[in-house]
Structure 1
Amino acid sequence: MNQRRINVFILTVSSLIFCFNVNAASFEKYAPKLMHFEGVGYGIHKPIWGERDFSKSEALKIHRQHYWDRFHGDLFESQEVAEVFIDHIINAGSGKSKANIKAFEAIIGAEQDGILTVEDVKRANSFYFAEQIVNPYAKYRVLYYKTRSHVGENPGWIIRAKSFMMRNAFGIVALTDVSLPDSIERRFRHVRL
């Protein structure tokens, strides 16, 4: 009888651990996509990280510690939401006055202070559909890249941003169909999609 209780206890704990981890974003799921986008240099900007070649494992360690962990990637319930946000921070940085973080905060309706907090992540997790965050942030990314002076030389920036777009219940969504908070729309009103 005692052995049976132990087995039931172990099964219950294992089930709880599995259920908890199923609903969380994971750097390990994101890493292959990141490496595909970043290519040969693994996305390590040498003026920041040092003038040397980095191995894939070193690059992944930098991306995990300085981006995924710093911006609470494992606390996001949606893999897609974590990826669209953190990928932009990896690719473009926080932006002038942390504009790229503030845009994410505006989309989720949080205080726009440029500091992604655990409370901000909880707010993002409260959205029922991931595309309610992912598609607006992907649109923001496209608009952001279109204002960069080197966008013509780097068409991959826009391709990368668009790759995060999610289908909704009605099918594929065009960028022009996605709404952004007024503050972001006003900032990019001069940009054509």
Structure 2
Amino acid sequence: MADFNLYKQTALKFEGGYQKLSSDPGNYNSRGDLVGTNMGIAATTYEKWLNRPPTVEDMKSITVSIASEIYKSWYWDTVRASEINSQAVAENIVDHAINAGPRTIAKIVQGILNKYYKKNLVVDGAIGANTIKAINAVAPTKLFQKISQYRLEYYNSLNNSDWISIWHKRVKSLADKFGILIEKKKYLEHL
């Protein structure tokens, strides 16, 4: 079974520290104030955690402990990663959940399992018992590759030239961590 503690440092490395770029929509709270992100925690995410719009000072003061708690409870646990047999597959799913939301990755994974593995899952954006069972029933390396390919296509669909190469490098770096090759296609031109 996958272990959050084995993933936590990877998430922190990918997400980095505080930044306040106006081109990143995650840097704005619900009032439209540019307050930044820290350790990958978007302003609106931290707003839900605090139950109020965060300030720049709030965002700068996010600790590793708080970020880890948010990663674990709102992403790792939401996609039921501890129930996934493959650490690599669990990390790939959670990494996209942090970056694009748990519902987005759940739909991607469910769609892959239906299309390539004939699992007949309801594509509802929630990883439940049937999705976990299907994830654990297929070859993890192939599933990891498909998830990575779909992540790259998802990022391309956003047409965000400021971030696309960073997102692509993130997917490749996670694949490299586990020694898994991602099939070369046109979407890898950003690596």
TM-score (norm 1): 0.70
1:138 matches 2:148: yes
Question: Do the aligned residues in 1 keep the contact of 2:149 with 2:182 (CA within 8 Å)?
Answer: no
Q: Which residue among 103, 106, 110 is the counterpart of 1:105?
A: 110
Give the structure with higher Rg (CA). 1
Structure 1 pair 56–123 and aligned structure 2 pair: CA distance change class (3 A)? same
Q: TM-score, normalised by structure 2?
A: 0.71
Q: Deviations over 1:95-149 (max 9, x none)?
A: xxx443211101122321212102211111011x311211011011111111213
- Using the TM superposition, give the Cα deviation of residue 163 of structure 1 relative to its aligned residue in structure 2, in angstroms: 2.4
Counterpart contact for 1:102–1:113, Cα < 8 Å: yes
CA RMSD for the aligned pairs? Answer: 2.0
The one-letter amino acid paired with 2:83 is L
2:93 is matched with: 85
Runs of 5+ unmatched residues, structure 2: 18-37, 48-53, 115-120
> Once the 2 structures are TM-superposed, how far is the Cα of residue 80 of structure 1 from its aligned partner?
0.6
How many pairs align? 149
Q: Offset of 1:154 from its aligned partner?
A: 4.7
Using the TM superposition, give the Cα deviation of residue 37 of structure 1 relative to its aligned residue in structure 2, in angstroms. Answer: 0.2
Q: Give the equivalent residue in structure 2 for 1:175.
A: 184
Structural mapping, 1:56-135, within 5 Å: 56-94=64-102, 98-109=103-114, 110-127=121-138, 129-135=139-145
1:25–1:77 contact (8 Å) kept in structure 2: yes
Looking at structure 2, the residues matched to 150 and 77 of structure 1 have their Cα atoms a distance apart, in angstroms, of 34
1:70 deviates by 1.4
Quick one: structure 1 residues 175 and 118, their matched pair in 2 at CA, closer, same or farther if it must change by over 3 Å? Answer: farther
Distance 1:68 1:153, change over 3 A: closer
Q: Which runs of 5+ in 1 are unaligned?
A: 1-23, 177-190
Q: For 1:92 and 1:173, how far apart are their aligned partners in 2?
A: 20
Q: For the structure 1 residues 133 and 46, does the alpha-carbon distance in structure 2 shift closer, same or farther, using more than 3 Å as the test? A: same
Tell me the residue number matched to 1:155: 165
